[in-house]
DNA sequence: CTGAAAGCGCTTACAG
DNA sequence: CTGAAAGCGCTTACAG
């Protein structure tokens, strides 16, 4: 079995309290001989002693652990690597561990009862990464759960950190307008099928930002959304070919997300439209896209910042559980690959 | 603060042991009145009692927790959603939690000392998802770590679960050969730059499987690997255009992974080569590709199985830590989208 | 100054 | 049959 303080104490011939203090560097007001301390450390090392943090936690009343709550639906759990990474790093700084939890969330799940996981989950706090399609049942369950919590990537007025999709929409439009574009279209996720519990706020906010900036500049809004129909993925190229072959086709596109890039580029290539000479494009994208060879300018989601910020807020929340914190919105960054260009009048 | 057994016991006016037994359904040999039990459960519910699993763990000597060890390098941590999901589900069945840990692993990191995380990590066991680029320093640190552990997605002779990339390579080739193809090329990850600590075993094994099957059928091996040079991502289309415009171009391609699909399809389209009429393609891919609209036949990685299997093995390993378990290789599944076709002689 | 004792929240073998 | 007591591994206020 695992090595304990007691075993070390027995070997050295001192009290466990001495071993505890030495190993935790709490020897300030104690005058242990350097020899003794070294002996204790040596034995601990040799035996491969690992402090039982659970026992520590029981004693101190803190768990030293934060739980990340995800939906069990893969496509509903937003967990890009950079987000996980920054969270983990930020927690590690504070000596906290990261617990990962997925809630069962099949449609029609019975939530008259609290899910088992919320019955035994012990952590100092919760980061709720339950971005969209949150059923009212599960939402209130989480809301009522006793632990302090921060929601991420979800627009709420308090205790929440989220990317500023509205501002990103404004900025995408602004960049294109600055380049002299007037006929700028916004492409929604046209192959997205509406979910029971509503769409992610980024869908409306990105568009809203675009629309706002267009209006401000007296430009006409052009929304490409499949006219209310869902376009199957294998029909996307044809769909964009059709749009881009219109005589009054847009000179610039803003894409809801990077999955739209391949079909759009394919359509453009088919039509002999070259980027950025004949068409400027900006898309929204996750950080991973930069490494995955995205060839289009992008508003990049602040994943890293969101990880850091969520941990910081949660830590604050843990110290003052009753106080609700003002939500924080985080700015996107801009990734320039040269896919946008000044409009040339022809 | 959190509600404890003691508080409930005080309110009801019984001993904590009674409360513990009632709440844990360990009343078999005890004859508590139904009333009393209901009263205890009711109070527990009202106060929002959550058992302190850490205290339980200290008492029972089990942590009820498994740690997943990842590299801190995003692109080195293989954590597809389905893998995470199946692990989590399998653990949940056993009432275990999932701890997530990333090791610092910058090149040149000093590993004369054990990383802090391995000094305090407490779990019943470890799943090491540290698939490639494992530096010898860190590898031995993990190896020597006291907890029982299972490696995943990494070819080791024992205590390991990994996808059978060799067999998948054989099968991909076999399918194309069955369709009458003879000129079948294997495309490596041509834009991959060699890492300090070697490549993932899938790189050699997928190719090896292909080569084996080709030889078995007396067919010539055709390896497309950039002739030892790394092809930049933005030159990939041109690279494939060049290859596919050769007079003796392959009639079928096997792609190392799905990131090669877009440039290959683009090149084919440019040349007027249609799929599958003029060219059959099979790629290797993760499960996510199926949902992300992959349009090419694929050997799909057994993510789900790997999650389940790793947990099962680890649980076995936890009960018998000294016994080393034979590694398990898992078969890929085949995803057919119609991108392969019988070769027509012209 | 510094050991020994109390106690964190829990479970369960055991005495009555 | 069923309370009360011991004890898991740890930390720290406190008595000497």
pLDDT in tens, chain B (346 residues): 688 999 999 898 888 999 999 998 888 888 888 888 999 999 998 888 889 989 998 988 888 899 999 876 655 567 888 899 899 999 988 889 999 988 876 555 555 566 667 777 778 999 999 876 667 777 888 888 888 999 999 899 999 999 999 999 999 999 999 999 999 999 999 987 666 567 889 999 999 999 999 999 999 999 999 998 899 888 999 999 999 999 999 999 999 998 898 889 889 988 999 889 999 999 999 988 877 777 889 999 999 999 999 999 999 999 888 899 999 999 999 999 889 999 886 5
Q: Which CATH architecture has domain A65-161+303-328?
A: 3-Layer(aba) Sandwich (3.40)
- Nearest-Cα distance to chain B for A93, in Å, is 11
Inspect the interface and report whether the beta carbons of A291 and B75 lie closer than 8 Å.
yes
Residues B302 and A196: their CA atoms lie apart, in Å, by 30
Return the axis-axis angle of helices A5-12 and A16-23, rounded to nearest 10°: 110
Residues carrying CATH 1.10.260, chain A: 5-51
Q: Would the pTM of this model clear 0.75, i.e. be above it? A: yes
Judge contact between A173 and A250, C-beta under 8 A: no
Task: Give the list of residues 6+ apart from residue B78 with CB closer than 8 angstroms, or none.
Answer: B129, B131, B153
Closest CB from A77, A101, A291 relative to B81: A77
Q: Is the CB of A114 under 7 A from strand D?
A: no
Distance between CA atoms of A315 and A329, rounded to whole angstroms? 18
Q: CATH assignment of A5-51, given 1.10.3470, 3.40.50, 1.10.260, 2.60.40?
A: 1.10.260
Give strand pairing partners of B223: B186
- Residue A276: cis peptide before it, omega within 30 degrees of 0: yes
| Three-class SS of chain A | CCCCHHHHHHHHCCCHHHHHHHHCCCCCCCCCCHHHHHHHHHHHHHHCCCCCHHHHHHHHCCCCEEEEEEECCHHHCCCCHHHHHHHHHHHHHCCCEEEEEEECCCCCCCCCCCCCHHHHCCCCEEEEECCCCCCHHHHHHHHHCCCCEEEECCCCCECEEEECHHHHHHHHHHHHHHCCCCCEEEECCCCCCCCCCCCCHHHHHHHHHHHHHHHHCCCCCEEECHHHCCCCHHHHHHHHHHHHCCCCCCCEEEECCHHHHHHHHHHHHHHCCCCCCCCEEEEEECCHHHHCCCCCEEEECCHHHHHHHHHHHHHHHHHCCCCCCECEEECCEEECCCCCCCCCCC
CB-CB neighbors (< 8 A) of A257 in chain B = none
Q: In angstroms, rounded to a whole number, what is the distance separating the alpha carbons of residues B186 and B256?
A: 8
Q: How far B203 CA sits from the closest chain A CA (Å)? A: 18
**CA separation for the pair B279, B181 (Å, rounded):** 10
Nearest to A122 among B50, B61, B291 (CB): B50
- Measure in Å the smallest separation between the Cα of B215 and chain A Cα atoms: 34
Which residues of A fall within a CB distance of 8 Å from B50?
A: 119-122, 146
Does the CB of B29 fall within 7 Å of any strand D atom? yes
**Which residues of chain A form CATH 3.40.50.2300?**
65-161+303-328, 165-302
Verify whether the Cβ–Cβ distance B88 to A72 is below 8 Å. yes
- Per the CB < 8 Å rule, is B100 touching A51? no
CA distance B53 to A242: 60
Pick the CATH number of A165-302 from 3.30.110.60, 3.40.1390.10, 3.40.50.2300, 3.40.50.880: 3.40.50.2300
Cβ of B54 within 8 Å of Cβ of A50? The answer is: no
Of B53, B58, B74, the CB nearest to A122: B53
């Amino acid at each position: 079995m695992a090595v304990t303080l007691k075993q070390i104490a027995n070997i050295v011939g001192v009290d466990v309290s001495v071993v505890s203090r030495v190993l935790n560097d709490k020897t300030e007001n104690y005058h242990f001989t350097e020899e003794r301390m070294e002996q204790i450390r040596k034995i601990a090392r040799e035996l491969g002693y690992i402090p039982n943090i659970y026992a520590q936690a029981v004693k101190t009343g803190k768990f030293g652990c934060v739980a990340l709550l995800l939906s069990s639906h893969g496509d509903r759990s937003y967990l890009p690597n950079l987000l996980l990474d920054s969270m983990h790093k930020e927690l590690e700084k504070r000596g906290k561990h990261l617990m990962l939890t997925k809630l069962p969330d099949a449609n029609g799940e019975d939530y008259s009862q609290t899910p088992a996981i919320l019955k035994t989950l012990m952590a100092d706090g919760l980061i709720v990464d339950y971005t969209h399609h949150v059923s009212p049942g599960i939402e209130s369950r989480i809301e009522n759960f006793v632990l302090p919590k921060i929601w991420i990537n979800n627009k709420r007025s308090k205790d929440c950190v989220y990317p500023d999709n509205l501002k990103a929409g404004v900025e995408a439009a602004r960049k294109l307008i600055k380049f002299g574009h007037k006929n700028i279209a916004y492409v929604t996720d046209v192959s997205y099928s509406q979910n029971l519990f509503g769409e992610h706020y980024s869908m409306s906010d990105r568009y809203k930002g675009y629309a706002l900036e267009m209006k401000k500049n007296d430009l006409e809004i052009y929304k490409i959304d499949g006219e209310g129909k869902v376009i199957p993925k294998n029909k996307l190229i044809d769909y964009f070919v059709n749009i881009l072959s219109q005589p009054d086709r847009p000179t610039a596109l803003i894409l809801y997300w990077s999955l739209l890039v391949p079909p759009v580029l394919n359509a453009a290539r088919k039509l002999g439209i070259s980027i950025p000479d004949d068409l400027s494009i900006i898309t929204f994208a996750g950080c991973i896209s930069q490494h995955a060879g995205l060839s289009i300018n992008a508003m990049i989601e602040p994943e890293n910042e969101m990880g850091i910020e969520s941990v910081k807020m949660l830590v604050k929340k843990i110290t003052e559980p009753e106080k609700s914190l003002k939500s924080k919105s985080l700015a996107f960054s801009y990734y320039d690959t040269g896919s946008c260009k000044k409009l040339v009048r022809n």
